[in-house]
């Protein structure tokens, strides 16, 4: 009798231990953006897909149409969907005050060696910002948010993404990239996405920056390589603090 009782207790304890182990570990990436790693070649698991090989600064560009569908396969872009879901679920908030251009203006975005104009061709919604080169442009032209997101936090890690495509009826630029920087006394801290040619399918650019210097101002700019009469569109710029 006593022996059977001991065996029953041992069985209950073993079952309970299995339950604790089963409940104590979640699937990789189930916390959305909060589970992102620092290695861009592997942290695609947190978005539900494997990312392309990183550029030297660990950033990517990917093709997608205006609804977030992959332009090559027609499948849903899991990175875009996961980021949207994470935001809806109370994940890392978007710190950018003017990344959707739904108010009919590009302000406070400006341009270096170019010009910016509001456009009604949006990646989502009904607005975007058109960036055009000038006859005097010599290499690259930009859309620059002029530090609109505000002061940075030393020790924090920020992730920026934005979408770009050619402007209808306009010449395409050369290589396009997205840059995330912490503006401080020189030298500033900055990372750049992978560079890519754009076409009439919306393409996502992204990069991550670990801020180490205090008293900076975080900001995004998107640049295109000069071609005569070239213009491109940008939309849905998102800046998140991920660490």
**Domain assignment present for 2:** no
Read off the tokens for 45.
Answer: 């698991």
pLDDT tens digits for range 126-142: 999 999 999 999 999 99
Number of domains in the chain: 1
For residues 173 and 166, give the distance between their C-alpha atoms in angstroms, rounded to a whole number. Answer: 8
For 226-243, the three-class secondary structure string (H helix, E strand, C coil) is CCCCEEEEEEEEEEEECC
Return the pLDDT at 61: 58
Contact 164, 234 (CB under 8 A): yes
The angle at the Cα of 77, spanning 222 to 211, to the nearest 5 degrees, equals 45
**Domain assignment present for 167:** yes
**Domain assignment present for 6:** no
pLDDT tens digits for range 97-124: 999 999 999 999 999 999 999 999 999 9
**Domain assignment present for 204:** yes
The angle at the Cα of 63, spanning 61 to 66, to the nearest 5 degrees, equals 120
Pairing relationship of beta strands 231-241 and 128-133 according to DSSP bridges:
antiparallel
Mean pLDDT over all residues of the chain? Answer: 74
Contact 100, 85 (CB under 8 A): no
Read off the tokens for 200.
Answer: 């009439």
**Domain assignment present for 11:** no
Return the pLDDT at 239: 98
For residues 123 and 232, give the distance between their C-alpha atoms in angstroms, rounded to a whole number. Answer: 12
Mind giving me the DSSP string for 150-204?
EE--TT-EEEEEEEEEEPTTSB--S-EEEEEEEE-SSSPEEEEPPPB---SS-EE
**Domain assignment present for 115:** yes
Average pLDDT over every residue of 211-217: 96
**Domain assignment present for 103:** yes
Read off the tokens for 48.
Answer: 């539900």
CATH code, 37: 2.60.120.260
pLDDT tens digits for range 25-51: 222 222 222 222 222 222 222 222 223
Contact 202, 65 (CB under 8 A): yes
**Domain assignment present for 183:** yes
Domain that holds residue 71: 32-241
Bond before 187 cis per omega within 30 degrees: yes
């Amino acid at each position: 009798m006593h022996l059977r009782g001991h065996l029953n207790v041992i069985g209950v304890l073993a079952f309970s231990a299995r339950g604790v182990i089963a409940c104590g570990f979640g699937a990789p990436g189930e916390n959305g953006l909060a589970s992102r790693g620092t290695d861009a070649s592997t942290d695609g698991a947190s978005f539900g897909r494997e990312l392309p090989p990183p550029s030297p600064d660990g950033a990517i560009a990917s093709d997608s149409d205006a609804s977030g569908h992959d332009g090559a396969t027609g499948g849903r872009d899991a990175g875009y969907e996961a980021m949207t879901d994470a935001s809806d679920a109370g994940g890392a908030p978007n710190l950018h005050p003017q990344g959707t251009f739904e108010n009919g203006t590009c302000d406070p975005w400006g341009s270096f060696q170019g010009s910016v104009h509001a456009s009604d061709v949006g990646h989502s919604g009904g607005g975007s910002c058109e960036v055009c080169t000038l006859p005097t442009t010599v290499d690259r032209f930009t859309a620059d948010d002029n530090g609109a997101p505000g002061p940075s936090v030393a020790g924090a890690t920020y992730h920026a993404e934005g979408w770009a495509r050619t402007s209808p009826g306009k010449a395409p630029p050369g290589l396009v990239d997205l840059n995330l920087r912490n503006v401080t006394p020189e030298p500033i801290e900055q990372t750049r996405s992978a560079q890519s040619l754009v076409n009439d399918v919306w393409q996502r650019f992204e990069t991550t920056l670990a801020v180490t210097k205090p008293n900076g101002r975080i900001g995004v700019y998107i640049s295109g390589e000069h071609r005569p009469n070239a213009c491109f569109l940008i939309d849905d710029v998102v800046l998140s603090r991920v660490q």
